[in-house]
A = this chain, B = another copy of it.
Amino acid sequence: MRYAITVEYDGAGYSGWQRQLNAPTVQQTVEEALRVLTGEETVIVGSGRTDAGVHAAGQVAHFDTARELDVYRFRYSLNALLPEDVKVVKMQRVADDFHAQYSAKQKTYSYGMYISRTPSPLRRGRFVRITPPFDVEKFVAAARMFEGEHDFKAFGNVGSEVSTTVRTIYSAEVKVCGDEVVLYLTGNGFLYNMVRVIAGTLVRVATGKMPSEEIERMFAEGTRTHGIKTLPPYGLTLEKVFYNIFPPEDKV
């Protein structure tokens, strides 16, 4: 039997999603709880890795087990075993050919910032502080330039394993509330560090250090403009993974 779980986690205490030797990761934290409950050497397959410090509101993973599970009761028991910074917010039986990584059609990431000269204790570890001046309208307008199909070579830190650097961003939305600015990117795939580099690019534009036309040049030439930072991991959250064969369901 194959089951899919949706996992929410605060990445601060973990060396990312993927299992590692000698470092706590979210994957092994969930696997260890699953093994206690199933009595099997359960391995979970996530929709993709998240880096050390990156959060998830809706990471999805699948696993197989010989037993038929009551998903509601099983999830409850699993959460009782899991630490408070990792919880399974949804669980459902899926078809044998469901694959958390290969069946994924789209993902939404968010990147959270606040614009202030002073560090904010209540936003630390979740939002990245950007020093003003900051032109929100420029930020929003430049974010729109990322929508559509582009070669994101200049915006990812590409390893040799990637066959193409062309990706499609379906939407680049910005939510502004007080001094907070949150970027939401939904796309069919993301290169390594891509959201953090795009956020860094938009900050460069919004703080007046780079004209937005430079984004067009990066798409065309595939090289990153000097001065663009890969923003830190803790502003990044994997919000949602979309599947055709995985119907949406309320968290509640």
Residues of A that sit less than 8 Å from B by CB: 8-10, 55, 57, 75, 79, 84-89, 115-122, 124, 126, 132, 179, 237, 251-252
Contacts and interface: CB of A to CB of B under 8 A. Distances in A.
B252 A121 contact: no
Contact of A122 (B57, B88, B120, B252): B57
B132 A10 contact: no
Nearest to A178: B251
Given A79-B118, A79-B119, A118-B79, A84 B252 contact: no
A116 B252 contact: yes
Which among A115, A116, A118 has the highest number of chain B CB atoms within 10 Å?
A118
A4 B132 CA distance: 24
A177 to B, nearest CB: 10
A10 to B, nearest CB: 5
Which among A75, A88, A121 has the highest number of chain B CB atoms within 10 Å?
A121
Contacts of A75: 118
Given A57-B122, A79-B118, A121-B10, A252 B179 contact: yes
A124 B88 CA distance: 14
A120 B126 CA distance: 14
The copy count of this chain in the complex is: 2
Majority SS at the chain A contact face: loop
A57 B10 CA distance: 22
A87 to B, nearest CB: 5
Which among A119, A122, A126, A179 has the highest number of chain B CB atoms within 10 Å?
A122
A55 B121 CA distance: 10
Contacts of A79: 118-119
A181 to B, nearest CB: 13
Given A10-B124, A124-B10, A119 B252 contact: no
A179 B86 contact: no
Contacts of A119: 79, 84, 87
A179 to B, nearest CB: 6
Contact of A179 (B9, B122, B251): B251
Given A10-B121, A89-B118, 20 more contacts: A8-B121, A8-B122, A9-B122, A10-B122, A55-B122, A57-B122, A75-B118, A79-B118, A84-B121, A84-B124, A85-B121, A85-B124, A86-B121, A87-B118, A87-B119, A87-B120, A87-B121, A116-B252, A122-B126, A179-B252
